Structure 1
Amino acid sequence: MKYYIIAGEASGDLHGSNLIRALRAEDPQAQVRCWGGDRMEQAGGTLVRHYKDMSFMGFLEVLAHLPDIFRNLSFCKADIEAFKPDALIFIDFSGFNLRIASWARKKGVRTHYYIAPQVWASREGRVARMKRDLDAIYAILPFELPFYKRHGVPVHFVGHPLIDAMQGLPEPEPKAFRARHGLDPDKPIIALLPGSRKQEIRKILEVMLQVIPEYPGYQFAIAGAPNLGEAEYAPYLEGTGVTLLMDWTYPLLQHATAALVTSGTATLETALLDVPQVVCYKGNWLSYQIARRLIRLKYISLVNLIMDREVVRELIQDDLRPGTLKAELDRILSPEGRSAQQEAYAELKTRLGGPGASRKAASLIVDFSSRA
Structure 2
Amino acid sequence: MDWTRGHTIGHGSSAAVSVAKSRFSDEVFAVKSVELSQSQFLQKEQKILSQLSSPYVVSYKGYDVTKENDKLIFNLMMEYMSGGTFSDEIRKQGGRINEPLIGYYAKQIVQGLDYLHSRGIAHCDIKGQNILLGKTGAKIADFGCARCVDPAKRDVGATAASAEPVGGTPLFMAPEVARGEEQGCPADIWALGCTIIEMATGRSPWTNVTNTASLLYRIAFSGEYPEIPKSLSVQATDFLSKCLRRDARERWTAKQLLNHPFLEESNSNSTTNQDCVTSSPTSILDQDIWNSVEESDTIDPTIQTETSMDSPLQRISKLGQNSGKPNWCWTDEIWTTVRKNSEQNEGNDDKIVYGIVTSFSEMQLESRLVAVDLEINYLNDNFCCNDFPRHLTYSANKIQCL
TM over 0.5: no
The structure where helix makes up a greater share of residues is: 1
Of structures 1 and 2, the one with the larger relative CO (CA 8 A, separation 6+) is 2
TM-score (norm 2): 0.28
TM-score (norm 1): 0.29
